[in-house]
Amino acid sequence: MKAKALRYKESKEFIYIQELGGEPSVFTSDLPNLHPMTATIELIGGMLEDNDFYEGLDLDLDAIELVELDIIESGKVGADIRNKLGNYNSLVQMVELLLMEKDHERKIKLKKLVRKEIKLGHETVKYLANLL
């Protein structure tokens, strides 16, 4: 799932705008305050300018950015990685068989299988690199 969050450009700290004692205040955190994917910095800036409640809020819009985040459900990434690593387990086993094989014909067949598994391995590495 994707979402957006406000953060300071320089420090990369996430921004929360919350009411404190009846007045709006800006807080920072390591955790994001999520906004929908339709949010834009212009919409948020307009909301802050148009709403009297936020009058006097000390927030420099030039110093902040709206970043897109990927929210990943806990445990799903681990299971995905475990499944993808099955290719490498197969590859290792095939290479072990290939190294022990004495029959030339069987070696040729095993080499073809190893090459296919290597190709899948390259795709897996690309997938895992983009996962996080």
Residue 108 has a pLDDT of 92
Residue 66 has a pLDDT of 92
Which parts of the chain have pLDDT scores under 50?
none
Residue 4 has a pLDDT of 92
Residue 132 has a pLDDT of 58
Cα separation, 82 vs 89, in Å, equals 11
Domain range summary for the chain, segments of one domain joined by +: 2-70, 76-131
Q: What is the pTM assigned to this prediction?
A: 0.53
